[in-house]
Each structure stands twice: as C-alpha cells, then as structure tokens.
A and B are shown apart, each in its own frame.
Chain A
C-alpha cells in the first residue's frame, strides 16, 4: 500500500521564525511530491512541488527538501507569517499513474504574533 504520512497533526511557530513541516512515505514508488495549503471552507491550494529526481526546490519563502534514502520530505517556510496559518498537506503521485494524488493527513500550522 502506498502511504503518505504526516505524523505531526499540529505545529505552532512564532511570526518571523522558520516553520518546518514533515512528511514520510512508505515506499519508493512515487514520481512527484507536492505541498498544498488549505484554509477552512476552501479547497487545497497548490504551493510547491518536487520531482523525485531532485532533492530541493525553492520558491520564495517556501523550500521543499526530498531525502529519498530516508523516504522523507519537508517544507520550510521562512519567514513564517500569520497568513501562513492553515492546514498543510503533502501529496505524492504514484509511479505508473497519470496524476492521481495520494494525500497525507495534514498538519495544522499556527503562526503566532
């Protein structure tokens, strides 16, 4: 079974500091990884992605790191802002599928003043 896991249900960070959100996957059969942000009563919003052949991708305040040997990816947000408070989902595209996303359970980030 191809699983994507986010073991921390919540995270609280002070404004201006770094937020690090983590995600683990249970096998190597994923081609692409993505992070989505979700506010209440809205759909997930695409943030950033990374191909399985890379180990880092950066876009403004957001950086995604992929450690294939550890089957682990992380999202770094620097500096964190109050508007970043939301639920963050990691998602992965299994090898051999066109574009089916397998989601993690989400981590609720609270950025405090």
Chain B
C-alpha cells in the first residue's frame, strides 16, 4: 500500500540553525501539507501546497518557514533559524485531487525535531 515517507525520523539541531525536513508524498497525490505536534498538545496545521504554490498557511507559518517541491517526488519544509519552541513532531501529509477526497489526508510517520 502506498505511504507517505519522511526523513529523518529524528533531527537534533542547535538554536539558530537551519533545518530541512523531507517528505515523499503518495505518488498520485496532488495536495501536500505540513502539520506539527508539540509534546502534549494538538496536531496543528502549518501549510498546504497545491500546484506548486502555498494554498493556505496558519499564523504559525511565519517568515522563518518555507516549503518547496524541488522535484516530482519530494516535498520539503525549511526552518531558517530554529528556536527552542520549534521542537515538535512534524508530520507531512498528502491527498488526492478532487473536493471530497482532498479532505482525506494521509500522514507520514513524522520527524521529531529537537532544538537545543
């Protein structure tokens, strides 16, 4: 069964450093997303991406964050200058085209980001 994959599974970085989290969405999906879950809190939407541009973003997704689809398979989240409060589990998700099916998002296993 097709699945969303994410690398690395765990990333440790120092405050102020740049990190890039990588995702390979399901191959026939056209919508891509990033979510995060701070320990003990809700899963929070960060950004959605369709047709090579951001379609929605949350207030969390400020100028320190960016997303990119550098080729036909990868989808990346970059944090330019990490802060302690960026420590969280980051989930990538994807969904098919179409109105109803676009709501059914399939998640990767997550990347645990630890900022020290």
Contact = CB atoms under 8 A, between A and B. Distances in A.
B58 interface: yes
Given A97-B56, A99-B95, A89 B102 contact: no
Given A99-B33, A100-B58, A104-B42, A44 B102 contact: no
Given A100-B45, A100-B48, 10 more contacts: A41-B109, A43-B6, A43-B108, A46-B107, A89-B43, A91-B43, A101-B45, A103-B44, A105-B41, A106-B42
A98 interface: yes
B44 A99 contact: no
B113 to A, nearest CB: 15
Contacts of B33: 99, 101
Interface string A26-44: 0000001010100001111
Given A34-B104, A99-B31, A42 B109 contact: yes
Interface in B29-62: 31, 33, 35, 41-45, 48, 50, 55-56, 58
A51 B100 CA distance: 8
Nearest to A91: B43
A52 B68 CA distance: 33
A29 B95 CA distance: 22
Q: Of B50, B100, B105, B108, which is in contact with the most chain A CB atoms at under 10 Å from its CB?
A: B105
